[in-house]
């Protein structure tokens, strides 16, 4: 019986930590991946992330839907549906779910760049979004 | 003994408070992220099937879902059998059905000008909620229609 107590405690603690994803932890994960891909990648760069965010890669840029201010609400370029702000300072739910983040990177990079984003681009982008203060 | 029961309750409470989106309405969450979670009655089952068979080419955007989520959406739309095509199988792009080109839709909106649909507040005929305030609840009563900028 006594053995059950630590087991239950572990279960209670393990569940929330599995979801304790932060923008910082995601950025660190992409940073590690980028370093593994290229020894030249040092640390994520907010200024490169900003350039990436604003740049029109083809028909679209990130700003097409998310506006040029990631702390402001966006609007879907096709349907007009409102989109919550991307910057964690303006949206506490942003970059808090790894699967959700990967789902949107896959779709949006495919739409905007016509290719997947690299780990370096993802790390830079999150660094930029973390640097954006509430109100822009 | 009591400690175990308390801990079990705590563990269960924490675990259930972290049940991810599948417990919530997957359809509203996934499809409603980009557009109104259209009521299933607005298209036929074969039309919904064509859409779900190729989410990678979804009206000009990539709307891919992981497989359990895609199946949950199919279930919600009443597509029980046969099974959906596997995502890899959809290499040839088919023309997707559009609610807004359905005969009934065109008839119902024949008094709305193209300029109204293109206006900044509406932007697209797919933006039901711009004029139908209860669209999110699946209600499109003509008496409730409020066209932005139009005189009441």
CATH number of the domain bearing residue A35: 1.10.760.10
| pLDDT tens-digit profile, chain B (152 residues) | 566 666 555 555 544 444 344 434 899 999 999 999 999 999 999 999 999 999 999 999 999 999 999 999 999 999 988 888 887 776 667 789 999 999 999 999 999 999 999 998 888 899 999 999 999 899 999 999 999 987 66
Residue A4: inside a domain? no
Average pLDDT, chain A: 89
Is A2 within a domain?
no
A7 inside domain: no
Quote the DSSP letter at residue B87. G
Count of domains forming chain A: 1
**CB within 8 A of B67, min separation 6: which ones?**
B87
pTM of the prediction?
Answer: 0.79
Does residue A12 fall inside a structural domain?
A: no
Question: Domain for residue A11, yes or no?
Answer: no
Structural domain contains residue A107: yes
Residue A102 lies in a domain: yes
Whether residues B4 and A106 touch (CB distance < 8 A) is answered with: no
Ramachandran region of residue B115, left (φ > 0), alpha (ψ -120 to 50) or beta? alpha
Q: What is the ipTM of this complex?
A: 0.78
Burial of residue B104 (number of CB atoms within 10 Å: 0-12, 13-18, 19+):
exposed
Tell me the residues of chain A between 16 and 35 that have a Cβ less than 8 Å away from chain B: 16, 18-19
Q: Which residue do the tokens 């790390």 mark?
A: A123
Q: Which domain holds residue A56?
A: 19-131
Is residue A6 domain-resident?
Answer: no
Decide if A5 and B7 are in contact by the 8 Å CB cutoff. yes
- Contact list in B for residue A80 (CB cut-off 8 A) is 122-124, 127, 130
């Amino acid at each position: 019986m006594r053995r059950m107590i630590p087991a239950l405690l572990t279960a209670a603690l393990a569940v929330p930590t599995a979801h304790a994803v932060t923008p910082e932890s995601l950025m660190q994960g992409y940073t590690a991946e980028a370093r593994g891909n290229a020894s030249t990648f040092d640390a994520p760069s907010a200024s490169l992330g900003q350039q990436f965010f604003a740049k029109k890669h083809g028909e679209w840029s990130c700003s097409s839907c998310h506006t040029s201010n990631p702390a402001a609400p966006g609007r879907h370029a096709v349907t007009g549906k409102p989109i919550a702000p991307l910057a964690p300072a303006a949206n506490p739910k942003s970059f808090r779910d790894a699967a959700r983040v990967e789902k949107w990177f896959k779709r949006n990079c495919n739409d905007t760049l016509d290719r997947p984003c690299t780990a370096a681009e993802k790390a830079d982008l999150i660094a930029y979004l973390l640097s954006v203060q509430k109100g822009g | 003994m009591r400690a175990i029961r308390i801990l079990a309750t705590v563990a269960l409470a924490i675990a259930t408070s972290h049940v991810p989106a599948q417990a919530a309405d997957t359809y509203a969450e996934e499809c409603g992220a980009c557009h109104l979670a259209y009521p299933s009655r607005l298209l036929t089952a074969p039309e919904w099937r064509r859409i779900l068979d190729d989410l990678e080419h979804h009206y000009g955007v990539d709307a891919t879902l992981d497989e359990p989520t895609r199946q949950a959406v199919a279930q919600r739309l009443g597509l029980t059998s046969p099974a959906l095509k596997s995502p890899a199988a959809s290499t040839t792009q088919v023309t997707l059905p559009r609610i807004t080109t359905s005969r009934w839709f065109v008839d119902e909106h024949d008094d709305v000008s193209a300029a109204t649909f293109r206006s900044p507040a509406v932007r697209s005929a797919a933006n039901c909620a711009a004029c139908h305030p209860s669209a999110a609840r699946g209600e499109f009563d003509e008496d409730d229609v409020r066209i932005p900028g139009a005189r009441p």
